[in-house]
Amino acid sequence: MGKLFFYTNVLLLLAVMVCYVVNDVNGQVAEVYFGLFQLIAAVFLKSYTLFYNEKTIKKHLSVYWLLVVIFIIIFKTAISSSHNTTIVFIFIYPMFIAIYFTYITYLFTKKHTHHELQHP
């Protein structure tokens, strides 16, 4: 299950990037849906019992949630701003969060696979 989780994340991340290359608006819409997927996945990882005891992943997931909160604050501020750089930032910053979360799912996969090898 861990590998499927990671590969799904990678494929969705690549799909969002392709959508941006093809058309900005499609990329922005895809990014919103991908962000929702990652939020749900982060909640899942938080509740997963194998993960709960893994301090490294737990730390990374805490950083992820902090980045999400910072994004929400920036997004609320950016909505009232008319600066083009602010609007661009609210679409670029989430991609960095998405890449970081993909790294977290990689760590989860690595730990999950190691756990499966120890307990067949």
CB 111 within 8 A of CB 51: yes
pTM flag (> 0.85): no
Sequential pLDDT tens for the chain (120 residues) = 568 778 988 999 999 889 888 887 788 888 888 989 888 888 887 776 555 556 787 888 889 999 999 988 887 877 776 666 666 677 788 889 999 999 988 888 877 655 444 444
Q: What angle do CA 31, 35, 40 make, to 5 degrees?
A: 150
